[in-house]
Amino acid sequence: MTAEKAHKTSPELSKEVSAESLLDLKVKIFRSSKKIDTYIYLPVDAEFDDLPEALRKQFGRTVFVMELLLTTSLKLALFDATMVMQGIAKDGFFLQFPPPNLSPVLPEELLE
């Protein structure tokens, strides 16, 4: 599952948010205690407990990482900040999964 598909969807939230309409957004970022390299971005005034129960259960206990001011010109490690901001504007959060491992290590390679 990609981060783009990780957002909850509903008919009233299905509209795309244009990059031009985005304002700078202060967010807090949490790491999942259950899923390696999985993070959730929330507006600074939002509460994790307000997210859907199924998402909270899968995510596990939150580990605070940092607060960050997102701007459309900000460079993030894995995603374009605009994409993160659009996800938050649309869904109220952005869920970041680890990138897919495109070249897995095979067991025989570990023995070399």
In Å, how far are 18, 43, 80 from 48, measured between CA atoms? Answer: 26, 10, 23
Range of the domain at 89: 25-100
| Under 8 Å between Cβ of 95 and 6 | yes
Q: Is residue 73 one of the residues assigned to a domain?
A: yes
Domain count, the chain: 1
Taking alpha carbons only, the member of 31, 56, 27, 29 closest to residue 43 is 27
Q: Is residue 5 one of the residues assigned to a domain?
A: no
pTM for this one? Answer: 0.73
User: What is the percent of the chain with per-residue pLDDT over 90, rounded to a whole number?
Assistant: 58
Query: What CATH number has the domain bearing residue 77?
Result: 3.10.510.20
Q: Is residue 105 one of the residues assigned to a domain?
A: no
Q: Residue 104 CB: number of other CB atoms within 10 A? A: 7
Q: Is residue 67 one of the residues assigned to a domain?
A: yes
In Å, how far are 16, 17, 42, 83 from 20, measured between CA atoms? Answer: 12, 9, 20, 12
Q: Is residue 48 one of the residues assigned to a domain?
A: yes
| CA separation for the pair 53, 70 (Å, rounded) | 26
Query: Which residues of the chain are modeled with pLDDT < 50?
Result: 1-14
pLDDT tens-digit readout, 85-100: 999 999 999 999 988 7
